[in-house]
């Protein structure tokens, strides 16, 4: 009986090993795929120039698209301080935190991004100490950042810990969009 069990376990392990080693690489990590080359190129450029906010955004977006929020957080955390102060970059960081299940961090970062954008377009409280970012924000960007902040605020209040699997996260976004539509219609 013990021999049969050992043979069964050995066969299961052999099949698992064979399926892992014989599997085709995913297109995202295939060294010959264009996406992989583009990602490697962006990583190289970012390693040489951590002061380009657009490059930081694109690299973080690529990592988020690959479902690697941890790499997006690491990338944006190593960017130059002036890049980290950019509202669009802070928004990417909030998305990365959200995607990795860190709702409280995502909310704090989204609030910071919205405050910086408001300061950029001149709608912030005059006593605000939030620095004015180098790149300007538009009213449309501010509206998007505000919707994201409001959705995260609801998720945080409701105790959502994993926005990717909790249906309340989608409800939070729906309510934030609805509130924004009502606000824009009332103007």
Angle between helices 139-158 and 167-185 (to 10 degrees): 140
Q: Which long-range contacts (CB under 8 A, 24 or more apart) does 35-40 make?
A: 38/62, 39/66
pLDDT band at 35 (very low <50, low <70, confident <90, very high): confident
**Could you tell me which residues come within 8 angstroms of residue 18 by beta carbon, excluding any fewer than 6 positions away?**
none
Residue 39: pLDDT above 60? yes
Residue 45: pLDDT above 80? yes
Report pLDDT for 124: 66
pLDDT band at 131 (very low <50, low <70, confident <90, very high): low
């Amino acid at each position: 009986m013990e021999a049969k069990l050992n043979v069964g376990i050995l066969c299961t392990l052999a099949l698992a090993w064979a399926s892992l080693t014989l599997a085709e690489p995913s297109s995202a990590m295939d060294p010959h795929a264009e996406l992989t080359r583009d990602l490697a190129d962006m990583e190289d450029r970012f390693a040489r120039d951590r002061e380009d906010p657009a490059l930081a955004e694109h690299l973080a977006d690529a990592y988020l698209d690959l479902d690697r929020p941890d790499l997006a957080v690491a990338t944006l955390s190593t960017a130059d301080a002036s890049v980290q102060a950019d509202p669009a970059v802070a928004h990417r960081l909030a998305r990365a935190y959200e995607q990795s299940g860190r709702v409280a961090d995502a909310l704090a970062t989204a609030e910071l991004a919205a405050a910086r954008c408001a300061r950029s377009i001149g709608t912030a409280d005059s006593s605000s100490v939030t620095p004015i970012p180098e790149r300007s924000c538009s009213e449309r960007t501010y509206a998007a950042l505000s919707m994201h902040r409001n959705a995260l605020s609801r998720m945080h209040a409701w105790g959502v810990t994993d926005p990717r699997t909790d249906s309340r996260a989608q409800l939070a976004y729906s309510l934030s969009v609805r509130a924004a539509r009502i606000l824009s219609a009332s103007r």
